[in-house]
Structure 1
Amino acid sequence: MLKIAMAQLNFTVGDFDGNVQMMLAQLLRAAQAGADVMVFSELSLCGYYPGDLLEDIGFLHRMERALEKIRRASKKLPKLTIVLGTVRKSRGPGKPLHNSLLAIQGGNIVLEYDKQLLPTYGIFDERRHFEPGPEIASVMQIGTHRVGFLICEDGWNDQGADYKVNPFNALRAAHPDLIISINASPSDIGKRALRHSLFAAASRHTRLPLLWVNQVGGQDQLVFDGASFAVTPKEGIVFEAARFAEDFQVLAFDKGHFMRADGGALTSPAVEGLAREEFMRQQIILGLRDYARRCGFQRVLVGSSGGIDSALTLALAVQALGPENVYAITMPSRFSSSGSVDDSVLLCQRLGVKLYHHPIAGLVQAYDAGFQAAFDAPLRGLPLENLQARVRGTILMEFSNAFGALLLTTGNKSEISVGYCTLYGDTNGGLGLIGDLYKTEVYALSRWINQQAGQEIIPQAVLDKAPSAELAPDQKDSDSLPPYEVLDEILKWHIEGRRLPQDEGRQASQAVQQLARTDEGKQLIAKVLAMVARNEYKRRQAPPIIRVRPRAFGSGRQMPIAAKY
């Protein structure tokens, strides 16, 4: 029987001391549990993904020193095989580095495997830094078992759709008893189900059991959900670790089956997983919590307009950091309704958030007078609307600078897509929590939060009011945008397309096909697509957003600004 310990940990990019300390603590736990193997995730020593830090010689030297600490610890645990991810120098032509897996026994590196498939799609750009490893099977004997190894993307091509090489083929020919795959797999809607489906199919195809170990935590716009799992050819997914939390587990493996460490049967995880809204909530909360912590912020700030976007942002921030670490500012203008201010007050009372009042009518009037004096023309229309947003953005940044609070932007994906936002105004900030949620999802998640709380955390009046920027008299979003129920389907079809989960993809495609049956519908589709293209320059200057969906704005969608669409 082989006892395998796995640790899905919240590694920080470049924090070698912190990462090593976490790993050393898990090594002791594994040894005390009598484990034969201790498995960490992909690039566990440095954290995923270091980007161009890999071109910093000092960074690579610190990584070598971190590895040496693990090797020294291994000498004191001679019965434990340590499996981890790190960076190694290439021994041939091409890029100077490999994304590597090491197996360490008694202080010695006894196996070194270099990742063969380097993703360059979506948010990945590993070929920028790494050279692919040779097309070989990496297998070693641990006790009475032959164990094969993969690194993340190596296991995603069993159907041969994306690469010419399928590392599973060489592994299957080497006849291991078990495959261990180390991963840094970001999470998004539908990702868990996709992993289970692909690796269950690969396990059946190769007739090989597999242990899949992931990391957890937020890193810039990405969130890693953990959810490590074990799969066998006949039983499918037989084990799943915690989602959105660190976890340490010891599994036993013998005769093709995974068991509990004491030899008892495992309980297979539920197929359906989290409800979609709960997934969104946990993804965003973990993303904010780690982003703030890693960037050195304890407190956050939100401009509270009384609308649904700022309300949801505040509610999520409170769940992530606690009400004592969240501030809000209401900044009414002469166009703001009394209800919007009242709704902000009620919302912040329910959340326990400190709300500041900073009216902007006088500031806007002063700008108007200065503009008229300088240019002999009054401020009106769009310039006046944008001025109000920019005055508010300036006030928010003043508070952020003065009191050290991270400013959270409140734009949703629908508005960001079509440019329904003001550059240097409501786009000011350090992080967007709901920038990967369409407007209809903002409403759905808000209702979910109320439902789970068993009370109106977000006031019903906020949920019921017609969306409005309140930058002009009686202004409504519907004055310049189609209904969000229509707009969101067009945007999903255009921005995410085949990346959508099957149910969403079918719905979006059908909605667009229905619209395209009329000339008016065709014109609407063309108008929305033109708005998306025209506003790329705004998105390029916007703060990072927490990725929730298969394709988010940011590094996962790279479009030119100066182009003819």
Structure 2
Amino acid sequence: MLNLTIAQINPTIGDLDGNLALHLEAARRARLDGADLVVFPELSLTGYYPADLLDDEDFQRRLDVALADLLTATREVSSLHWVVGVPTRHDGPGKAYRNSLLVIRDGEVLLDYHKQLLPTYNVFDERRHFEPGPDVARVLRIAGTQVGFMICEDGWNDEGKDYAVNPFQRLADAAPDLVVSINASPSQIGKRDLRHQVFRAASWRHRLPLVFVNQVGGHDQLVYDGASFAMEPEPGVVFEAARFESDLTTLRFETDRGVFSSREGGVLPIPPAADGLSTPEFQRRQIVLGLRDYARRCGFERVVVGCSGGIDSALTLALAVEALGADRVLAITMPSRFSSSGSVDDSRALCEQLGIALEVCPIEDVVRQVGDTMAASTLALRPSGLALENLQARVRGTLLMTVSNARGHLLLTTGNKSEIAVGYCTLYGDTNGGLGLIGDLYKTEVFALGRHLNAAAGRALIPAAILDKPPSAELAPDQRDTDSLPPYELLDEVLKLLIEGERLAPQERAAAQAAVAALDAGPDARSGEDRGDEGQALIVRVKGMIARSEYKRRQAPPIIRLRGRAFGSGRQLPIAAKHY
């Protein structure tokens, strides 16, 4: 029989002292629970992923000190096996470090295992800093149980589709009683279900029970949802830790039967339903945790948001209030001569519902003064048309950054994925800020999440007037987004195909393909003329808009990732290139 503590912690990248304190606290609790071993996530000592910090000489020295302190801490909490994820130095040709798992007891490293499969796709770039480990299995007997160890990606290739090496098969050949996998598996729509599918198949194939320990917390663009689990070959998931929060749970593993039970030997609580959270609820919790940790780790206590009276800023404000509290959120509305009276009124109604302060700062005088200055200069230029529209956005962006500088608030951008994709945003204007909360939500999803927040709250956090009004930048007379863009209901389906494609869930991809195909089917409803290849023409048009806007996205702030392919580190394209 083996007592095992799952330590689902929230480390901060680079905070070696703080992370070690988290380890020590969890180990003390594990010992009180009578655990034989406590298992931490991948790279738990440094946080995932330290990236080029590993090239910094000062960080390297601090890491050496932290490893020594870790050994000392294991002596303090004696007679307990610690399974810790750390970078370890690699001697010989290749990279200077390995992504390693150490099993430590009473100051002695009993086992080391080095990650073999180093992902270099999407948001991952581990081969940049780490050397792959050898193709060997590592097993250690603890409390009469043969425990085999893996690190994250090593467990994802059991079908042999992505790598020539299969560490899971190699480990199964060593005949452990239990597999322990430490992970830093970032969260996205459908990722929890995918983890269960992949590891259920491997557990079933090799008839091996396993424990999957994941980290939790927001780190820049990525959010880790925790959701660590214990799995048996026959029933599948028998225990799941909390999602989007730290968790410490001790389980009993009955070695002779290969099953898990509670710490006292009783029945485990029924794990959450296989389908998990609804999509809007997942989006809400992911964004809230992402903002909360981003602000905390970057030293911001308060945020500021430009409030236009539209759905994007309204949703951003509502999510910020949930993450930080109403007293830490400031809204500023900056009407121009093109702003409708309803926009200011809607902003006031929104802020009253959310319980946050709203400041009013009209921009008409500033915009006019800029125009007068330029006209009187040797430029002899008075902005009009698109230049005037963008000038208004840039004045607003400048004012918001001034407030951010003066009061120390984090400025949140309010652009959604649809607008960011096609460049329907102003560089150095509404793209100003430190973090975007809804940049991986398509416009139709923004409306859906707003309605979800209202339903969950049981009241109109976001007033119906905001949810029902046609989207508009209000930078020109009677302007509507549809003056420049296809209807979002159609645009979003095209964008899903072009940006995510095969990464979409089958049902979502089929719906997007059907929406585009419908454009080419039958005559136009108004003119009666054959629409021909309208769907393909739209795809070509949108593809061009995406390509021409790459330079804007390169300069935009990070956004919280929700989908399989988000703008940012997971989508790397050249700017000066022919994309279509």
TM range (shorter): over 0.9
TM normalised by structure 1 equals 0.99
Letter of the aligned partner of 2:15 in structure 1?
D
Q: For 1:282 and 1:176, how far apart are their aligned partners in 2?
A: 37
Deviation at 1:516, TM superposition (A): 5.3
Output aligned runs, 1:44-55, within 5 Å: 44-55=44-55
Aligned with residue 257 of structure 1, among 256, 259, 266: 259
Q: Kindly indicate whether the alpha-carbon contact (under 8 Å) linking 2:43 and 2:100 is maintained by their aligned counterparts in 1.
A: yes
Q: CA deviation at 1:42?
A: 0.4
Measure the CA separation in 1 of the matches of 2:101 and 2:85: 5
| CA shift for structure 1 position 495 | 0.4
SS at match of 2:303: strand
1:348 matched residue in structure 2: 351
Identify which of 478, 498, 508 aligns with 2:512. Answer: 508
Equivalent residues, number: 565
Aligned partner of 1:142: which letter?
I
Tell me how large the CA RMSD over aligned residues is: 1.0
Q: Distance in 1 between matches of 2:216 and 2:535?
A: 43
Contact 2:367 2:392 in 1 (8 A): yes
CA distance in 2, matches of 1:448, 1:152: 33
Q: Which residue of 2 aligns with 1:274?
A: 277
Aligned with 2:323 (options 320, 329, 341)? 320
Read off the aligned partner of 1:353 and give its amino acid letter: I
Letter in 1 for 2:358: L
Residues 186-221 of structure 1: CA distance to partner in whole angstroms, max 9, x if unpaired? 000010010011110110011111100000000011
Q: What SS does the aligned partner of 2:330 have? A: strand
Distance 2:535 2:137 in 1: 54
1:308–1:442 contact (8 Å) kept in structure 2? yes
2:536 corresponding residue in structure 1: 522
Work out whether 1:452 is the aligned partner of 2:466.
no
Distance of 1:540 and 1:9 partners within structure 2: 32
Whether 2:379 is the aligned partner of 1:365: answer no
Which of 433, 444, 447 is the aligned partner of 1:443?
A: 447
Shift of 1:476: 0.1
Mapped pair 1:556 → 2:570:
yes
Paired AA for residue 428 in structure 2: Y
| Contact 2:12–2:47 (CA under 8 A) maintained in structure 1 | yes
- Matched residues in 2 for 1:430 and 1:268: separation? 37
Contact 1:83/1:101 (8 A) holds in 2: yes
- Offset of 1:513 from its aligned partner? 3.4
Q: Which stretch shows the higher mean deviation, 505-514 or 164-173?
A: 505-514
CA deviation string 1:477-515 (max 9, x = no partner) = 000100101000111111011111222122223323334
> Which consecutive residues of structure 2, in runs of 5 or more, have no partner in the other structure?
522-531
Spell out the pairing of 1:290-301 with structure 2 (5 A cutoff).
290-301=293-304
Equivalent pair of 2:517/2:535 in contact (CA under 8 Å): no
Deviation at 1:59, TM superposition (A): 1.1
Whether contact under 8 Å (1:493, 1:512) holds in the other structure is no
3-state DSSP class of the match of 1:179?
Answer: strand
Corresponding residue for 1:311?
314
Residue 191 (structure 1) aligns with: 191
Paired AA for residue 405 in structure 1: H
Q: Judge conservation of contact 1:189–1:501 (CA < 8 Å) in 2.
A: no
CA distance in 1 between counterparts of 2:541 and 2:413 reads: 26
Spell out, residue by residue over 1:125-160, the C-alpha distance to the aligned partner (whole angstroms, 9 max, x if none).
Answer: 000000100001111111211000000000111111
Aligned to 1:419: 423
State the AA in 1 paired with 2:316. T
Q: Corresponding residue for 1:9?
A: 9
CA distance in 1, matches of 2:346, 2:65: 55
- Give the Cα separation in 1 of the matches to 2:271 and 2:225: 18
Distance 1:522 1:174 in 2: 54
Q: How many Å separate the matches in 2 of 1:206 and 1:508?
A: 38
Task: Give, as a single letter, the amino acid of the residue that structure 1 aligns with 2:277.
Answer: L
**Identity of counterpart residues, as a percentage?**
62
- Shift of the alpha carbon at 1:368? 1.5
Alignment match, 1:119: 119
Aligned to 1:212: 212
Report the 3-state secondary structure (helix = DSSP H, G, I; strand = E; otherwise coil) of the residue aligned with 1:414: helix
Q: Which residue of 1 aligns with 2:484?
A: 480
Counterpart Cα distance in 2 of 1:79 and 1:506: 55
Residues 320-357 of structure 1 deviation map (CA, whole Å, 9 limit, x = unaligned):
00010000110000000000000001101111111111
What is aligned with 1:337?
340
Matches for 1:124-139 after TM superposition, within 5 Å: 124-139=124-139
Is it true that 1:392 corresponds to 2:396 in the alignment? yes
- Gap change, CA 1:498 and 1:391, over 3 Å in 2: same
